[in-house]
Chain A
Amino acid sequence: MSSTWMTTRAWLLMLPLLVVMVAVIGWPLVDTVGLSFTDAKLVGTGGNYVGFDNYTNMLSSSNFSRTLVTTTLFAVISVAAEMVIGVLAALLLNQQFHGRAILRALMILPWALPTVVNATLWRLIYNPEYGALNAALTQLNLIDAYRSWLGEPGTALTALIVADCWKNFPLVALIALAALQAVPRDITAASLVDGAGPFNRFRFVILPYLAGPLMVALVLRTIEAFKVFDIIWVMTRGGPANSTRTLSILVYQEAFSFQRAGSGASLALIVTLLVTVLAVAYAALVRKTAGSAA
């Protein structure tokens, strides 16, 4: 069979996917680019060409810079916490103890819980009048009066980060655990014979095996955290006083609440660009890590 025919056949099999992807991703993306240069409203006829006005207005607005800071804080803190707690949990699950299989099976629960259910659950836990957190802290005499954890700008973002970490650290733990189990027994045994302490053993023997998979998890989690919408929308809608408003929430408000499709589109593309830069930088880092760990 000729290789041209093989390639043609492959393209034909690929075609349905490509057609659908162009229809539901390619065309909308191009259209978003077009919209971003207009003052179009969400409903009604297309707007007028306004050049880069939407971009310059957006980038110079204090809303944007504040939201960018909030998003970065959310992404950096929650992903860092998820990685640290995830690796610690994986190290624990890699030990031998009774009930280990059950505990490992439990790890899948937060991951499988739908994001909206997780957000709702934590919203109930943080409830200012009847929430379990207030009840527990009061009964333990840690606080005197019930607090509105999601209603105060000082605590809302932290409360969101805790809820996000709880759902996502088990995924990191499962990925790290799979990597740990790939560490050959004789290597850890040899390092013991050589008298390596627990810390050095982790740093020099185990970590190289973890680095690759953990980098992948780090990249994916960071991109996800940067795009975050669901958990914040359900728990705070970006409030109080916009203290938990992330970029995706800002785009939603601009394009759909205020119906400014044009400026919403420009903001969406700025977010896309930020995520892309992040992803490319990370991809380079992953390649470097994979190279040095191999």
Chain B
Amino acid sequence: MERRSPAFTIFIYGCALLLAAIILAPIAWLFIMSISPAADLAAKPLRWWPQAADFSRYQTLLSTAENSAGAAFTSSLRNSLEISGMATLAALALAIPAGWAVSRTPAIGWSLSMVIATYMLPPVALAVPLYMGLSHLGLLNNVFGLALVYLTILAPFTTWLMKSGFDSIPREIEAAAMIDGAGLFQTLRIITLPLAAPVMATSALFAVLLAWDEFFYALLFTSDQRAKTLTVAIADLAGGRVSDYGLIATAGVLAALPPVLIGLVMQRALISGLTSGGVKG
């Protein structure tokens, strides 16, 4: 190892502090805004630290009293949970068999390449027919309709992750089980799928993150509390006439909490998923 001069060590720590500040300052400010009294946020010069922490906005947003700001927020929270959950389960149901098939039968790999190439399509290229189609089926402003549309994003990505996951499980293990008399589906159930469980979990988490983050289709295809997702509800708040900026910040903190926790807990798996050629922009 190279021996570092004291000046270089100081330089490294200076840079590390700078990087930490760049990353943390905006996030910390979001949280501070959410607990600062409205008067502090409107004060000039701005009060950077609240005189007294005020958590009442969290209570406001999480209350379900009718026609309150909380009712709109909690319904969008529920919609986001339902839609991400449904879309993730559906995507995995499609991705697991398809990913295994492509992994074990490279001859059909070109079909997966085509599916993955759709990643390049801007959503605007599909939006008009999807809008007309959903409207025809009565699925506009509907959680099932939006979950279905989310498969355009989730299914190619999870299939590709599952395929690389199955690639790392040697087919000799499957062959050995079959020689011992196990049928194909028994082999998959007893041998392959348990070994692929970590990849399935990673794929599911990525899918949830993607669905939770989605905004464009949700903006187009939902119009009220029956299907509006969190991202749309927050954009409404940010673009609306809300006079209390702390309330907008609070909604942001609450919406960011689940993906940030997933990110921190699953760091290792997420990073290896990303660096194996990863997507998610």
Contacts and interface: CB of A to CB of B under 8 A. Distances in A.
Nearest to B266: A108
Contacts of A32: 125-126, 128-129
A187 interface: no
A109 B122 contact: no
Contacts of B271: 108, 174, 178
A170 B262 CA distance: 16
Given A25-B121, A25-B152, A174 B275 contact: yes
Nearest to A176: B275
Interface size on A, as a range, is 35 or more
Given A9-B101, A220-B279, A234-B235, A252 B124 contact: yes
B197 interface: no
Contacts of A111: 263, 280
A255 B128 contact: yes
Nearest to A235: B238
A17 B96 CA distance: 10
Contacts of B94: 16-17, 20
Contact of A117 (B45, B102, B234): B234
A120 B13 contact: no
A93 to B, nearest CB: 8
Interface string A74-109: 000000000000000100100101011001011111
Contacts of A42: 128, 131-132
Contacts, number: 278
5 contacts: A24-B151, A116-B231, A120-B238, A124-B238, A174-B271
Given A114-B231, A230-B216, A271-B122, 15 more contacts: A10-B107, A27-B133, A92-B16, A97-B13, A110-B26, A112-B263, A113-B27, A116-B231, A121-B30, A121-B252, A132-B46, A178-B271, A223-B281, A234-B239, A255-B128
A159 interface: no
A216 interface: yes
A160 B161 CA distance: 32
A130 B42 contact: yes
Contacts of B122: 226-227, 247-248, 251, 268, 271-272, 275
B180 interface: no
Interface in A170-220: 170-171, 174-175, 178-179, 192, 213, 216, 220
Given A14-B111, A29-B121, A175-B278, A103 B20 contact: yes
Contact of A268 (B125, B152, B238, B277): B125
A13 B97 contact: yes
Interface in B101-124: 101-102, 104-105, 107-108, 111-112, 115, 118-124
B101 A10 contact: yes
Contacts of A110: 23, 26-27
A150 to B, nearest CB: 11
Contacts of B52: none
Given A9-B101, A234-B235, A275-B120, A114 B213 contact: yes
A216 to B, nearest CB: 6
A97 B2 contact: no
Contacts of B212: 114
Interface in B194-218: 209, 212-213, 215-216
A245 interface: no
Interface of B: 2, 9, 12-13, 15-16, 19-20, 22-24, 26-27, 29-30, 33, 41-42, 44-46, 48, 93-95, 97-98, 100-102, 104-105, 107-108, 111-112, 115, 118-133, 148-149, 151-152, 155-156, 159, 209, 212-213, 215-216, 219-220, 230-231, 234-235, 237-239, 245, 248-249, 251-252, 255-256, 259-260, 262-264, 267, 270-272, 274-275, 277-281
Given A109-B263, A256-B220, A268-B127, A21 B120 contact: no
Contacts of A166: 22, 26
- Per DSSP, chain A at the interface is helix
A261 interface: yes
A243 B248 CA distance: 26
Contact of B26 (A108, A121, A127, A227): A121
Contact of B234 (A14, A120, A265): A120
A125 to B, nearest CB: 7
B129 A28 contact: yes
Nearest to B38: A130
Contacts of A223: 119-120, 281
A103 B129 contact: no
Nearest to B263: A112
B125 A115 contact: no
Given A113-B256, A230-B215, A213 B121 contact: no
A24 B45 contact: no
A119 B125 CA distance: 23
A31 interface: yes
Q: Which of B98, B122, B238, B279 has the most CB of A within 10 A?
A: B122
